[in-house]
Chains A and B, each alone.
Chain A
Amino acid sequence: MERIPILRMGEFLLVTIQVDMQDQLALKLQDDLSNTILKRTTRGVLIDISALEMVDSFIGRMVSDISGIAKILGAETVLVGMQPAVAITLVELGLSLPGVATALDMERGMALLRRMIDGALEAHDTVVG
């Protein structure tokens, strides 16, 4: 079965979604990610969705769920590279993903993640990189 790779870089996890998300895949990612966070000390998760061109309400909720789960497990999450069409769709669906930090690209996302972890910023719904 298809699986979305989760890459570890020290205390950070990188998740790059490069295929169209199906519900099963999304649930599996959620499962894998929570297990991986617990395996070793993880303080930040970076999810890159720059290749994602289609979303529905389920995927939107899943992203917000992942962020919540990671937070409970002690890791901050930053969502990077959302495409304009995806952003518009989510807004039209009424999913504003409160509490999920976002950034334009990988680089800014990583910088934001470090700042969040250093405690310079509290994660709230206006945090952007």
Chain B
Amino acid sequence: MAHVFMSNVLKKNTNELQSAWAKELATAMPTGKGRISAREVEQQTTEFLNLLSAAIGHARNGDISGTEFKPIREFLEGLSRSRVQQGFTSDETATFIFSVKKPLFQAIRVEAGKNADVLADEIWLVTQLLDSLGLHTIKTYQKAREEIINRQQREMLELSTPVVKLWDGILALPMIGTLDSARTQVVMESLLQRVVETGSQIVILDITGVPTVDTLVAQHLLKTVTALRLMGADCIISGVRPQIAQTIVHLGVDLQGVTTKANLADALKLALKRTGSTLQA
């Protein structure tokens, strides 16, 4: 009958619990001011207490995987996500749950009176439950963050590899940022795909935005050039800065068979000449 006890405690003291909890939250999370309004906090605390009193009757050893806990789990997941977006840290998010302990324990103590057994049992039950809920909140918080990071990574990858059509039969790829294996793979695939789609015979790889060229980067560039050649397209590398030219020579990277130009303008001129077009000033 222990769970009936908890349900009663929650139902009887809802208002007191809520105001005590709000005070706890205010002291524990002073930084929360401004990012989240007092009314919002009140709404969230009320909803949490309601959901908790609905679910607590089914609590077994802090296991919150049952269907009775589905509403409260979903509520916490939603809360975590919004906390992530509002810029709260993970401990601030967890504090939301853990700060209810003190007022709740206080209420249990009043209700249990002198019965130490009941008091100990109930406190243990509630602690287990709240810990599980807190952990669940953190888990969701982390997951939401990882999702954001992954999405941003994907977006950055797409942003950094635009394939531009400069002229009929001439594509340009302005590369920006450090080239690693994963990026080169994406660049190569999207570039080759565009070559097939547009039937372009010349591709200009502009490396003005590549900060450093080491042997690995050079190797990636050569791979791209070779793949393009295999498909029947010609490749010009442009935007080679003096520093990079020196590094390439010092490293002993063999760029033989690859046409290189100092800037995109020269590369375009050469490309136009090869396709048989001429520019008139």
Contact = CB atoms under 8 A, between A and B. Distances in A.
Contact of B231 (A84, A92, A96, A125): A84
Interface in A67-102: 79-84, 86-88, 90-92, 96-97, 102
B230 A97 contact: yes
B230 A82 contact: yes
A91 B222 CA distance: 9
A108 B232 contact: yes
Say which size band chain B's interface belongs to.
20 to 34
SS class of chain B's interface: helix, strand, loop or mixed?
A: helix
B232 A109 contact: yes
A90 B228 CA distance: 11
Interface residues of A, number: 24
B122 interface: no
A84 B199 CA distance: 12
B7 interface: no
A128 interface: yes
B231 A104 contact: yes
Given A82-B232, A126-B257, A88 B201 contact: no
B273 interface: no
Given A84-B189, A91-B223, A128 B229 contact: yes
Given A84-B193, A129-B232, A104 B227 contact: no
Contact of B195 (A80, A88, A104): A104
5 contacts: A84-B227, A88-B188, A91-B230, A102-B232, A125-B229
Interface of B: 185, 188-189, 192-193, 195-196, 199-201, 223, 226-234, 257
- Closest CB pairs A-B (n = 6): A84-B192, A103-B232, A102-B232, A87-B227, A104-B232, A87-B230
